[in-house]
Amino acid sequence: NAQFALKRAKQSGRLEIYQPGEVNIVRRRFSVETELRRAIEAEQLSLAFQPLIDLQSGRLTGFEALARWQHEHRGAISPAEFIPVAEESGLIVPLGRWAAGAAATALATWDRAAGRELPLSVSVNVSAIQIARDDVGGVIEQALSASGIDGSRLTIELTESAIINDPQRAGRVLAAIKDLRARIAMDDFGTGYSNLAYLQKLPIDILKIDRTFVAPMLRDRDSLAIVRAVLSLADALGMSTTAEGVESPELAQTLAALGCATGQGYHFAKPLGQDAAFAYWMAREASATASSASA
């Protein structure tokens, strides 16, 4: 393979020496892009739903929708691999449109199964590239009208990079999302190049504290200090908070005591398939009802 790459480079008149590993990275990336395009067209992607838990009451308040790609030969391909490829190739635009529609449709499907409008929200990740290139407000509007769910039951998760590149455009997109009554969460908060002025200027409802601060906070004083600082910042600005990476009951308890509103993590549940997510909601509601009846 390395020889092949070397020969191609010579033919083009340049002498470039590729390390064998480099060639493999380039090739894998190429095939991931081609196959991801096919997977989107053939609707071979799915969504997994990870529970969001009210840390004070223990009630389930919603799910974060996370893209999953089950490849016919290679098995599960991680979003950590295909989301960056989707962003670089522009495929995140159709992928993001699909994800918004599928998440809203899942919520409508659970409502129908329960025979009522459930007190649940669904969170959808929107990439900085979508903000820059697509009409995200229109995409959300379309997802809501196709599924019939109210905008107040949808949360859009954005990272800091979605705002930094073009703050004016981001401001218009966020205003359009708020007009639809959806909420806005700042995802992975603390890991990007934050400009705190944007927190004040933009209509952000929720800060999601990245799991790199949450997971070690019981053994690492600096992480704990950062978590506390984000909680107090959110409180001062009138925003809600979600802690990612809640992996133990001790973490859930400590975060609840510190006043964090919502928790998400393996301690509660891993991301679940659409039917498993609905079963989880019913089981959790049944036990919440039973414990409040006995209390």
Is residue 266 a contact point for ligand C2E (CB under 6 A)? yes
d(CA 246, CA 222): 17
- Asked if 149 contacts 171 with a C-beta cutoff of 8 angstroms, the reply is no
Q: Which of residues 159-188 bind Mg ion (CB under 5 A)?
A: 187-188
- Residue 83 touches which of ligand C2E, Mg ion, none (Cβ within 5-8 Å per kind): ligand C2E
- Residue 121 touches which of ligand C2E, Mg ion, none (Cβ within 5-8 Å per kind): none
Is residue 188 a contact point for ligand C2E (CB under 6 A)? yes
* Orientation of helix 20-41 relative to helix 2-11, angle to 10°: 90
159: which 2 tokens? 């990272």
Q: Is 127 or 274 the residue whose CB approaches Mg ion more closely?
A: 127
d(CA 166, CA 159): 13
Q: Which of residues 18-37 bind ligand C2E (CB under 6 A)?
A: none
- Contact characters 268-287, ligand C2E, x per CB under 6 A: ---x----------------
Given 105, 107, 187, 255, the residue binding ligand C2E (CB under 6 A): 187
**Helix H or strand E encompassing 68:** strand 60-71
Helix (H, G, I), strand (E, B) or coil at 65: strand
Is residue 50 a contact point for ligand C2E (CB under 6 A)? yes
Which residues does 171 contact at the CB level (< 8 Å), separation at least 6?
Answer: 201, 202
Beta strand 262-263 with 75-77: parallel, antiparallel or unpaired?
Answer: unpaired
Q: Which of residues 76-105 bind ligand C2E (CB under 6 A)?
A: 78-80, 83, 92, 96, 99
d(CA 55, CA 34): 42
First-to-last C-alpha distance (Å) of the chain: 68
Is residue 242 a contact point for ligand C2E (CB under 6 A)? no
Helix (H, G, I), strand (E, B) or coil at 180: coil
Q: Is 101 or 245 the residue whose CB approaches ligand C2E more closely?
A: 245
From the CB of 53, what's the least distance to ligand C2E, in Å? 11
Q: Which stretches of the chain bind ligand C2E, using CB under 6 A?
A: 50, 66-67, 78-80, 83, 92, 96, 99, 125-127, 157, 187-188, 211, 244-247, 264-266, 271
